[in-house]
Amino acid sequence: MDKPIFGEKVKEKDYQARYAAYIIVSRKAGQEMVLVQAPNGAYFLPGGEIENNETKEEAIAREMIEELGVSVEIDYYIGEAHEYFYSRHRDTYFFNPGYFYCAKSWTQLGEPTETTNQLVWLKPTEAIEQLKRGSHKWAVKEWLKQN
């Protein structure tokens, strides 16, 4: 199956590859899921850029401490989706291959180490409406099909 592609690739623009891993963290038997609200107000699934020589799973583990203050046990891989977008904050065009997972369980370890984001728990249908990136919306819809 071809990977879904979101966003529009603007011709004559140089894109920087930003490989990232994200995870759906839910509670109340999947009735609520957490989203991360960035300082600019945009909502995203928890996760982020894969740094240096990290595996996708290592990136998720690090991002969960940073963004949620939790450790997660990965249940399964949802899939890969690509997105093209422009970041005004970084003044950069990005090609963003995203790798999406579902958490089996999670344990609160403490407060998130990043303090600039807000966390919000929403019903999955509300989360789809709030998420900024098409690839994140796609991942939640795929997750809903399996739950």
Question: Could you give the number of structural domains in the chain?
Answer: 1
Dist. CA 111–CA 96, nearest whole Å:
28
pLDDT for position 2: 79
pLDDT for position 68: 97
Distance (Å) of CA 76 to CA 7, 61, 143: 26, 14, 10
Cβ-in-10-Å burial (0-12, 13-18, 19+) of 50 comes to buried
Q: Which residues of the chain have pLDDT under 50?
A: none
pLDDT for position 147: 85
CATH of the domain at 86: 3.90.79.10
Q: What would the pLDDT profile of 84-108 be if each residue is shown by its tens digit?
A: 999 988 999 999 999 999 999 999 9
User: Could you list the residue range(s) of the whole structural domain that residue 59 is in?
Assistant: 5-146
